[in-house]
Amino acid sequence: MNLLRDLPPGGAGEVTERLAGNGAVRIERIVSRGEASPAGFWYDQDEAEFVLVLSGGARLRFADGEVRALGLGDWVDIAPHRRHRVDWTDLAQPTVWLAVFYGP
Amino acid sequence: MNLLRDLPPGGAGEVTERLAGNGAVRIERIVSRGEASPAGFWYDQDEAEFVLVLSGGARLRFADGEVRALGLGDWVDIAPHRRHRVDWTDLAQPTVWLAVFYGP
């Protein structure tokens, strides 16, 4: 199985698929095609989230002011309840994320 | 932070670094430079292991007979106690793995 193949078709919006895990961890592929978080929306999650970008590009913004541009190989480990949003994802190509939700 | 940058120097053997996790999950980068498991050796782990290849190439062999060639984007979720070995990793370039150990 390959994270970069069999991508969901365009027009489906952001698509999340569970790859592996158990009751305590979820490993997911997320494919974005230009989606961003709605204006004023912040993720505020009970779990930690490790994200890694495999293709495309994205920009994460944190409520504490940090901004992270992400491309191939870039990863961020987001602590529980560290508020963040997806400011931007690439419009020209799919952005493929590996996400691991775990904890707290 | 980027999985493909700041690679450990050649000659250090296979190098594992912990990136994130908690008591129940470990997220690691593993960099291989041609290493393979010793002849006759099988990993037999209490935890499940999700592995994803970010660069280079590798070949996993399972005791049940399955063989998996892995390149960029390929992933495998290895069940606890499913015996396996690394038959081969690329000699021409570093092989970068993301590994998530979790469970059982």
The predicted-structure confidence for B33-85, as pLDDT tens digits, reads as follows 999 999 999 999 999 999 999 999 999 999 999 999 999 999 999 999 999 99
Does the predicted model carry a pTM greater than 0.90?
yes
A29 three-class SS: strand
Distances (CA, A) of A29 to A11, A17, A56, B37, B62: 17, 5, 14, 29, 25
Prediction ipTM score: 0.95
Residues B6-12: what's their mean pLDDT? 89
* Pair A93, A7: CB distance under 8 Å: no
Does A82 have pLDDT greater than 90? Answer: yes
pLDDT of residue A104: 75
* Pair B86, B60: CB distance under 8 Å: yes
Whether B24 and A21 lie within 8 Å, measured CB to CB: no
- Chain A contact for B52 (CB, 8 A cutoff): yes
Confidence of residue A99 (pLDDT cuts 50, 70, 90): very high
B65 three-class SS: coil
Residues A75-85: what's their mean pLDDT? 98
Nearest residue of B to residue A77 by CA position? B20
- Chain A contact for B7 (CB, 8 A cutoff): no
d(CA B58, CA A12): 33
What is the CB-side half-sphere exposure of residue A24 using CA atoms within 13 A? 15
Query: For A17-47, how does the pLDDT look when each residue is reduced to its tens digit (9 = 90+)?
Result: 999 999 999 999 999 999 999 999 999 999 9
Nearest residue of A to residue B55 by CA position? A73
Tally of residues, chain B: 104
Does B104 have pLDDT greater than 80? Answer: no
What mean pLDDT value characterizes chain A? 96
Give Cβ neighbours of residue B103 (< 8 Å, ≥ 6 apart): A22, A24, A25, B47, B48, B80
Confidence of residue A10 (pLDDT cuts 50, 70, 90): confident
- Edge to edge, what strands does the sheet with B84-89 contain? B67-70, B58-62, B84-89
Residues A3-16: what's their mean pLDDT? 92
pLDDT of residue B12: 83
